[in-house]
Structure 1
Amino acid sequence: MRRLFGSVRARATLGATLVVAVALVAAGAAVLLSLRSNLIGEAGTQAERSARAVASELAAGTPYDKLSGLDGDDGPVQVLDEHKRLVAASEDLERISGTDSDRVKPQPAATPPGGDDDDPEEAGEALEPGEISGESVFSNGSATIDGQAQDYRFAAVEVETHDRGHLTVYAGSPLAAEHGAVRTALTVMLIGFPLLLGVVAAVTWLVTRRALRPVEGIRREMAAITQSEDLARRVPEPDTHDEIARLASTTNETLAALETSVERQRRFVADASHELRSPIASLRTQLEVAAAHPELLDLDGAVEDTVRLQRLAADLLLLARLDAGERPNDAKVDLAGLAREEAEGRTGVTVDAEPVDVAGSRGQLGRVLANLLDNAQRHARSAVTVHVRREGDRAVVGVADDGDGVPDGDRERIFERFVRLDAARSRDDGGAGLGLAIARDVAVRHGGTLTAGRGPAGGALFELRLPLA
């Protein structure tokens, strides 16, 4: 059973069919009850009309054997006196139920008219001679006339006569039309409802199948992408502009971001391997020379290569942590004091700072300032200037040099990893091209920005903007 209804299509079809089935049963029951009530009401009206016609004749003094309603054509009629004794009945009446008397043949009166000492309230409503009661009492019963048994709706009407006392007229109207109409309606429902449910189920199945067809296409394409590991492929996007189309669009955006991330990771690994190869090869060469000729050992060069290798490894580790989404601390950091600390001991660096506090990691923000200062000193002719100020709700740190500056077309590219604008520059002088990439990543992790522009002295100007603590 679970496997049978394991698909969305099957569950949607079942749910829609059940909802429609419940609605049809409720509507059918309401229709049958309403139809039955209306037909019974019509039968009661007809019975009351017949009873009042007989009562009118009795009020006018018509003898029992001359009453026009006793022929049985419109239904059974009984006339009872105030003692519930049958005094008149329809011709050919063989059996009756549902009235105050089940007798079918009139009985002779036990006492003469006017000799009754019973309480008149027992006879019903107090009426004047010749007056017919305005109220009718209805009941259901059955009767057999001339061998034909039927169900009837009976109406009872009271009348006060001049010479025969208080009488009650019972007249019945057949319920055969009501029974036939209800049976017909029920038969139509029993045949039509299953057919309608079948149509609803089929339409729901087809509509759901068509609506979910793009989802199956997305699933197949995703399975193919997973199997082939080709992130350049994309899932088909339907032209329906609905939720499924938005799902396909979001899936393609996710695949594009994943492809970019994987490509960036591959390029990062390749560039890191290339950058690590040079210091490792240099260090190995020096050690091999030292092993063969100890007197030729360049100890300072070996130490320099080792330090460079250590810094590169530290940069790669920090980038890996940033890519993993490591959240910075929320400690309060004095940017002015941090700028003075990083500038201390550096030649040609001046600091102009006002006290500004931000929230974040002191170590990572110090690394940003150190990288910016290293980059500025590498390209400056003689001077580097650091400004720390407050602008609205932001703290701004500006690092400017008097070098050649950064071309407009390269002011974003320099923040990419392993990018160095001067290709002819040696790696020993220029670094690995990770400093600015690390600085921007740290700035973004702290909710800020890092941009490159033109400084007042014509060189490069790097501005770090961070939210105030």
Structure 2
Amino acid sequence: MSRKWLPPAPSQWGLRVRSALLVVVILTIALGAATLALTLVLYRSLVSASDDLATARLRQIAYQLQLDAPDDLDNGGLVPDSQITAIQILDANAAVVASSPGSPARPMVTELPAPDSVRHGLRPEVGCIDDVRISTLTTTSPLSGTHTVVVALDQEELENTIELVAVLVGIGAPFIVALAAASTYALVSRSLGSVERIRTRVAAISIADLTDRVPVPRQRDEIAALAHTMNDMLTRIQNGHDAQRRFVGDASHELRSPLTTITAALELGHARPELLDADLIAETLLPEAERMRRLTQDLLLLARADEHDLRIHPVDTDLDDILTTEIRRLRGHTTLTVTTAVQPVRISGDPDQIQRVVLNLLDNAARYADSTVEVRLARDDGTARLEIGDDGPGIPDDERERVFDRFYRIQHDRSRHTGGTGLGLAIVAEIVTAHHGSVHIERSSAGGALVVIELPASE
């Protein structure tokens, strides 16, 4: 038989069906347990009421036996009613000495209880009346001796009441279960309608247009929270997509410039080999190739950071030694004044990555400084605080967060002399974050930009 003609397996049932069936099972078990408990409580209540009625009749007759002999009793005490079926008075030998009209000739019980004790629920002797509950009381009188009073109560009405309750519950329970299952199915269908609208809208959103958002239900429930979460996710995807497009465009722009320069120089050398001399190689080809190499390395580092694969190899590192080495390098090829206040500080970090951070910050400060670069390193309550500033134009307050974005530069032009590639501070932020530190920008005492880095210091 073809599989398509077979009913779906339970694992393939929809949420509506599974929810409705779960309600059916739970409600059926709950109603069954409630019916059983109700029936038991009702049965015990009715039995207790019948026992109280039997006890009252037993004590009434026993009181009369304290005053008169069984033959002299008022016949009104031995008259049955709608519930009491039969009454017998037995002597010490379990022989019937008095009884109500219509009661059996044989004793309804042969086992006599102890004096002055009431016993309920005794079984009648074989051959006596059926469907009755026997209660007994033995009393002793100086006038009449020892006698046992036996009262039989009809159980048919009690059983009919229990059966009626069971029938009513049996009739009503399926309707209750069906109503609960239908309500659950409708409620889940309504909730899934919102989910289906969200799914349809998400399926229609393409990478070409990420501006669309899913509908948010008016109810403030979990479905609305899901819709808000989906919209937040779409916003993050859109922002990431836009950032990626900007990143690709900026990377292409930055790589195009050195490639164009190198290509032009090589074409010139191919057309006129005599012009491809050492000066052209040293002043044009090598600097542009080096710039392209650095840019490629920066892009690879940022790509690894995006994939959380920026590997660091932390060891005990003297941050002051790395800083001193890079300051000496900076002083060797600049006319700027470099002021320092460096204290010995040790951190746990990757020396190569930390050196790259210091190099980027010093080069960045030297690029924008008018005359002075200031460097400070100190330890403050288990934190290494590194400050590198300049006396240049500074960074406006509203730009201080954005300068850590990739390819972002305050200058609108693409001058390689003033703007760089726009990746230096982005790399600094990624490396510092990987070392569980923080970086931010303040205003230096000379009015320029002051980059502040805080890293966990070693003991």
TM-score where L is the length of structure 2: 0.84
What's the counterpart of residue 49 of structure 1?
A: 56
| Selected match of 1:445 from 422, 434, 450 | 434
Does 253-262 or 71-80 show the bigger shift? 71-80
**How many angstroms apart in 2 are the aligned matches of 1:47 and 1:236?**
72
**How many angstroms apart in 2 are the aligned matches of 1:406 and 1:52?**
106
Superposed displacement of residue 424, structure 1: 4.9
| Selected match of 2:226 from 241, 244, 247 | 247
**How many angstroms apart in 2 are the aligned matches of 1:24 and 1:423?**
76
Identity of aligned residues (%): 34
Judged with a 3 Å threshold, the aligned counterparts in structure 2 of structure 1 residues 181 and 373 are, in CA distance, closer, same or farther, namely: same
SS at match of 1:433: coil
Superposed displacement of residue 212, structure 1: 4.2
User: 1:196-211, aligned counterparts within 5 Å?
Assistant: 196-211=176-191
| Selected match of 1:26 from 33, 36, 50 | 33
Judged with a 3 Å threshold, the aligned counterparts in structure 2 of structure 1 residues 61 and 249 are, in CA distance, closer, same or farther, namely: same
SS at match of 2:287: helix
2:50 is aligned with 1:61: no
CA contact (8 A) 1:394 1:468 kept: yes
What's the counterpart of residue 325 of structure 2?
A: 341
Q: How many residues align?
A: 438
SS at match of 1:404: coil
Judged with a 3 Å threshold, the aligned counterparts in structure 2 of structure 1 residues 50 and 415 are, in CA distance, closer, same or farther, namely: closer
User: 1:422-437, aligned counterparts within 5 Å?
Assistant: 422-424=411-413, 426-427=415-416, 430-437=419-426
Superposed displacement of residue 124, structure 1: 6.2
**How many angstroms apart in 2 are the aligned matches of 1:150 and 1:439?**
99
What's the counterpart of residue 393 of structure 2?
A: 404
2:39 is aligned with 1:39: no
Judged with a 3 Å threshold, the aligned counterparts in structure 2 of structure 1 residues 370 and 396 are, in CA distance, closer, same or farther, namely: same
**How many angstroms apart in 2 are the aligned matches of 1:64 and 1:175?**
31
What's the counterpart of residue 250 of structure 2?
A: 271
Superposed displacement of residue 373, structure 1: 1.5
Superposed displacement of residue 271, structure 1: 1.1
| Selected match of 1:463 from 438, 452, 457 | 452
Does 202-211 or 350-359 show the bigger shift? 202-211
CA contact (8 A) 1:405 1:454 kept: yes
Q: Cα deviations across residues 285-318 of structure 1 (Å, max 9, x unaligned)?
A: 2222222221111222222221111111111111
CA contact (8 A) 1:40 1:153 kept: no
CA contact (8 A) 1:64 1:88 kept: no
SS at match of 1:305: helix
What's the counterpart of residue 116 of structure 2?
A: 134
What's the counterpart of residue 362 of structure 2?
A: 373
Superposed displacement of residue 268, structure 1: 0.8
What's the counterpart of residue 179 of structure 1?
A: 159
What's the counterpart of residue 168 of structure 1?
A: 148
2:281 is aligned with 1:302: no
CA contact (8 A) 1:43 1:174 kept: no
Q: Structure 1: give runs of 5+ residues left out of the alignment.
A: 102-122, 126-132
SS at match of 1:99: coil
SS at match of 1:76: strand
Judged with a 3 Å threshold, the aligned counterparts in structure 2 of structure 1 residues 124 and 189 are, in CA distance, closer, same or farther, namely: closer
> Aligned-pair RMSD on alpha carbons?
3.2
User: 1:84-95, aligned counterparts within 5 Å?
Assistant: 84-93=94-103
What's the counterpart of residue 408 of structure 2?
A: 419
Q: Cα deviations across residues 172-226 of structure 1 (Å, max 9, x unaligned)?
A: 121222112111111111111121222222223333333444333333322333x
Radius of gyration: which is bigger? 1
AA in 1 matched with 2:88: Q
Judged with a 3 Å threshold, the aligned counterparts in structure 2 of structure 1 residues 58 and 454 are, in CA distance, closer, same or farther, namely: closer
**How many angstroms apart in 2 are the aligned matches of 1:99 and 1:390?**
102
Superposed displacement of residue 67, structure 1: 4.3
AA in 2 matched with 1:418: F
Q: Cα deviations across residues 208-254 of structure 1 (Å, max 9, x unaligned)?
A: 333444333333322333x5663322222334333333332222222
| Selected match of 1:284 from 255, 263, 286 | 263
**How many angstroms apart in 1 are the aligned matches of 2:105 and 2:311?**
97
**How many angstroms apart in 2 are the aligned matches of 1:220 and 1:299?**
60
SS at match of 1:345: helix
AA in 2 matched with 1:403: G
Q: Cα deviations across residues 87-106 of structure 1 (Å, max 9, x unaligned)?
A: 444444458785229xxxxx
Judged with a 3 Å threshold, the aligned counterparts in structure 2 of structure 1 residues 380 and 361 are, in CA distance, closer, same or farther, namely: same
Superposed displacement of residue 397, structure 1: 1.8
CA contact (8 A) 2:372 2:391 kept: yes
TM-score where L is the length of structure 1: 0.82
